Amino acid sequence: MPTAALIIIGNEILSGKFADENGPYLVPRLRQLGCDLGRIVVIPDEPDVIAREVRACSEAFTHVFTSGGVGPTHDDVTFPSVALAFGVPVVRHPTLEAILRSRLGDACNDAALRMAEIPEGADLWWDGLVRYPLIVMKNVAIFPGVPALFKLKFEAVAHRFAGEPVSTERVWTSLTEPEIADCLTEAAGRWPGVAIGSYPRFELTPPKVLVTLESRDLAALAAGAAFVRAGIADVD
C-alpha cells in the first residue's frame, strides 16, 4: 500500500502568523484515498533543514508532499532545497519560463523567474489540464503553500496516490483503560494485521473510552472487533 509524508515548510506556521490548513485538508483526504500518511512535519525556511527532511522522507515513504516556499521572494527556498536533497543543481525550465513570461508580460523580472528554477531532472505533471504544472522531483511532489492553491493542485493529481482504503470499527466502553488493557493487548497479539487504538474521553460525563480497530483485512477486522466488543463493550 502507498505511504506518504507531508513536509510543511514555513516560518509563518511555526511562529503562529498563519495556521496550517494543508495538513487538516490532507489527513482525511489521504485516508479516503487509501494512502497511509506516516509523518507530518513543520519546518522553517532553511535549506539544510528542508534538504535533510526531504531526503529522509523520500527514502522512507512512497510519496512525499511539500507545502510552501515556491514563490518569488527571498524566503521561498523549496526548489533549491529539494535540489540540494538530491545533489542536483536548479535549472531554469524553458516551459515554465515561457508560461511565466506569457502570463506576467513586462512584470516577469528575475525574481518571478526564480519560480521557473527547479531541480534538474524534475518532472512536470499536467494532470487535469491545469494552467501551471505540478513540479515533482523523483517521489517528491512540490505544492504551493497557499491553501486554495494546495487543494486545487492536490485534487488534480490525487488519483496518482490512491491505494485500498482502510476500514474502521469503533467500540465504546465505560470501563477504564487499565480495565480494558489486557483485552486489547490480547486482541493486538491475535490479529496483528489489525491496528487497535484506545482513546480515553475524560471530557464526557461519565468518562468513556473509544477503542478503534482498523485494517484492510475485513475478516480479521470483523473477528478482532467481535472479540473486543465481547470483552469490553457496555455502551453504544
Nearer to a second copy, 45 or 122 (CB): 45
Least separation in angstroms between residue 14's CB and a second copy is: 5
Grid coordinates of 84: 540540494
Nearer to a second copy, 19 or 230 (CB): 19
Grid coordinates of 151: 487543494
Nearer to a second copy, 25 or 86 (CB): 25
Contact 48, 54 (CB under 8 A): no
Least separation in angstroms between residue 220's CB and a second copy is: 17
Least separation in angstroms between residue 20's CB and a second copy is: 8
Q: Which residues bind a second copy (CB under 8 A)?
A: 11-19, 24, 27-28, 31, 37-45, 71-76, 104, 107-109, 111-112, 114, 146, 148-149, 166, 168, 176-182, 184-185, 188, 195-200, 202-203, 212, 214
Least separation in angstroms between residue 148's CB and a second copy is: 6
Least separation in angstroms between residue 5's CB and a second copy is: 10
Least separation in angstroms between residue 94's CB and a second copy is: 19
Least separation in angstroms between residue 198's CB and a second copy is: 4
Q: DSSP string spanning the chain?
A: --EEEEEEE-HHHHTTSS---HHHHHHHHHHHHT-EEEEEEEE-S-HHHHHHHHHHHHHH-SEEEEES--SSSTT--HHHHHHHHTT--EEE-HHHHHHHHHHHGGG--HHHHGGGEEETT-EEE-GGG-SSPEEEETTEEEE-SSHHHHHHHHHHHGGGG--PPPEEEEEEESS-HHHHHHHHHHHHHH-TTSEEEEEEETTSSS-EEEEEEEES-HHHHHHHHHHHHHHH----
Nearer to a second copy, 123 or 186 (CB): 186
Nearer to a second copy, 30 or 157 (CB): 30
Nearer to a second copy, 121 or 207 (CB): 207
Nearer to a second copy, 88 or 220 (CB): 220
